[in-house]
């Protein structure tokens, strides 16, 4: 009697069991999807938070060392890189300065190389060598630099560039020109190109121009690490 009732009960419950068996996989997949969605959102929130806090400061490297020569990279919004080099020379980091300046793309009858030449001549500063830059990228500028410093017979170089540009430039020059010992110093620009005050690195997203600078520099840094770093002609031979 007991066995018969158990069998009947089991038989009566089978439609419900079959329905549970049919719906259970769907519920499991739905729960898995929710868990993955929550994990993804948390991961995204962490990445965004870290990006807002460290997105700009990560780009900055500032470890100057005493060297045979100071090389000021071309580009930048003003002449703060050059004056940072003069400051470092006065502090005894090196006696010679090589100043890179773009020797292409004339505007109003002149270009940066001509402007730099006139500026250095008027200032009367000694031991400053002008280096004409013919490439429009930091990767290509390594070829201009090695051409200009070859006659100086140096082994250690202190590079100066804008703070947001330091990490990528430092990595590129070390990778392409490993025969030299490199160190780097960051110059800081207090004003944006439009004249507005520059935001500090932990508040970079509050200013449109600085946010644009950080975003574009991250693009270039990613491109360097994913593409240019792996080119077969990575190390430029002078």
Query: 97-136 pLDDT, tens per residue?
Result: 999 999 998 889 899 999 999 999 998 888 999 999 999 9
Query: What single DSSP character describes residue 163?
Result: G
Q: Are 221 and 167 in contact (CB under 8 A)?
A: yes
Tell me the CATH number for domain 61-230.
Answer: 3.40.50.620
Tell me the pTM: 0.77
Checking if the pLDDT of 190 tops 50, the result is: yes
Q: What is the pLDDT of residue 130?
A: 96
Per-residue pLDDT of 67-79, as tens digits, reads: 999 999 998 878 8
DSSP calls for 1-57: -HHHHHHHHHHHHHHHHHHHHHHHHHHHHHHHHHHHHHHHHHHHHHHHHHHHHHTTG
Give Cβ neighbours of residue 137 (< 8 Å, ≥ 6 apart).
none
> How high is the mean pLDDT of the chain?
82
Asked if 165 contacts 46 with a C-beta cutoff of 8 angstroms, the reply is: no
Residue 23: the pLDDT is 57
The per-residue pLDDT for 181 is 97
Q: How high is the pLDDT of residue 28?
A: 78
Domain spans, the chain: 2-54, 61-230
d(CA 190, CA 200): 9
Nearest to 220 by CA among 174, 181, 169, 151: 169
What percent of the chain is modeled with pLDDT above 90?
50
More reliable by pLDDT, 106 or 173: 173
């Amino acid at each position: 009697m007991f066995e018969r009732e158990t069998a009947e009960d089991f038989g009566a419950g089978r439609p419900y069991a079959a329905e549970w068996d049919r719906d259970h996989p769907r519920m499991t997949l739905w729960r898995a999807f929710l868990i993955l969605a929550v994990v993804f959102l948390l991961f995204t929130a962490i990445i965004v938070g870290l990006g807002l806090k460290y997105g700009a400061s990560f780009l900055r490297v500032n470890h100057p060392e005493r060297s045979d020569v100071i090389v000021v990279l071309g580009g930048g919004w003003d002449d703060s890189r050059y004056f940072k080099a003069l400051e470092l020379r006065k502090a005894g980091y090196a006696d010679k300065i090589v100043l890179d300046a773009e020797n292409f793309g004339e505007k109003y009858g002149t270009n940066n190389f001509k402007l730099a030449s006139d500026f250095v001549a008027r200032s009367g500063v000694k031991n400053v060598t002008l280096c004409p830059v013919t490439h429009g990228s930091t990767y290509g500028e390594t070829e201009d630099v090695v051409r200009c410093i070859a006659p100086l017979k140096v082994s250690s170089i202190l590079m100066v560039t804008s703070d947001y540009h330091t990490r990528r430039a430092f990595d590129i020059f070390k990778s392409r020109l490993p025969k030299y010992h490199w160190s780097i110093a960051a110059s800081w620009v207090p004003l944006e190109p439009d004249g507005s005050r520059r935001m500090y690195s932990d508040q970079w997203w509050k200013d449109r121009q600085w946010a644009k600078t950080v975003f574009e520099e991250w693009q270039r840094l990613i491109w360097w690490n994913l593409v240019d770093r792996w080119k077969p002609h990575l190390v430029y031979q002078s």
